[in-house]
Structure 1
Amino acid sequence: MRNISDIIEGYLKAIIEEGQCGTIEIKRNEVAEKFQCVPSQINYVIKTRFTAERGYAVESKRGGGGYIRIFRVQANSRKELIEHILGGIQSGASYTMALDVVYRLIEEEVITERESKLILAAVDRRTIHQPLPDRDIMRARILQAMLLTLIYEQRN
């Protein structure tokens, strides 16, 4: 059974997909009222489900006429997408970041479900049995090697 965060995420993504420009502008209180939840639940969904690693940018304006604008960031090619992701994990990658990256690669049809499971197994905390921050640095290196391989494979 889906939880409220999944439902709100699905609703916001559906609105983004319906629009021509891949952007939505919402009022947090209005969305919270629609789903009969507290406004902080909307903040949580946006912060955790609409990240740069998942291919989104978010901006907000506070105050009476405030809004939250969510943009879907589209890469021109798979190579550009992978290079963008590589830039975001230069200094390390938490497991949550890795999940978001893999989620985006599946969504953009760069990798298969099977490949995603292999990547996530390789970067899991039980596999990289190191203390932080060494674990996040090692995880980023593994992801970088896999992503660079994907770029190389696309050229052939």
Structure 2
Amino acid sequence: MQAQNMSDIIESYLKTILEQQRQVEIRRAEIAERFNCVPSQINYVINTRFTPQRGYVVESKRGGGGYIRIVKAQLRDDQTSLSVMRANVPSRLRERDAQAMTQQLFDAQIISQETGNAMLSAMSHRTLNLADTRLEEMLRARMFRALLDSLRFE
């Protein structure tokens, strides 16, 4: 069995809390102390694992009484969630972000497993196979937006 890295452990901890309540407020230093890591590790986890593309809203307040609030976005209906997701597709989309967004569509029962797998296959690095990473990410973003547009009219 593969050992989890610290980022995975912190992510799992925060997601466990979010399963029980819609939002969590943390203090970066307290979480870093709890997991015996540097506070920048907490920033990394929040910035890469709790993004709008993955269905989270992050708010922060700096200062002595500061906090980081992570909120699991509630999907209202298919049209709203598709519009919000489309608005948050960046001009360049990394493969792992496309995977996370596709999973979010599946979890919300907007797409079937077969559709999700087809999307993942079409947008994979293996399929696109472009030497220019920037161009590949731009193409993936265009493909994902086109897919979201097609879902709105089904």
Of 40-49 and 120-129, deviating more is 120-129
Which residue matches 2:121? 121
Task: Tell me, yes or no, if structure 1 residue 5 matches structure 2 residue 7.
Answer: yes
Tell me the matched-pair count: 151
Unaligned runs of 5+ in 1: none
For residue 59 of structure 1, give the secondary structure of its aligned residue in structure 2.
strand
TM (norm. structure 1) is 0.82
Task: Tell me, yes or no, if structure 1 residue 50 matches structure 2 residue 43.
Answer: no
TM (norm. structure 2) is 0.83
Separation in 2, partners of 1:152, 1:107? 20
Which residue matches 2:27? 27
Task: Tell me, yes or no, if structure 1 residue 141 matches structure 2 residue 142.
Answer: yes
Unaligned runs of 5+ in 2: none
1:98 is displaced (CA, Å) by 1.0
**Structure 2: which amino acid aligns with 1:13?**
K
1:14-57 Cα offsets, whole Å, 9 max, x none, are 222322xx221101111122222222221111111100101111
Q: Identity of paired residues, percent?
A: 42
- Structure 1 residues 112 and 41 mapped into 2: Cα distance closer, same or farther (>3 Å)? farther
Separation in 2, partners of 1:14, 1:111? 25
Task: Tell me, yes or no, if structure 1 residue 38 matches structure 2 residue 43.
Answer: no
- Structure 1 residues 37 and 90 mapped into 2: Cα distance closer, same or farther (>3 Å)? closer
Residue 99 of structure 2 contacts residue 120 of structure 2 at CA under 8 Å; is this kept in 1? yes
Residue 54 of structure 2 contacts residue 104 of structure 2 at CA under 8 Å; is this kept in 1? yes
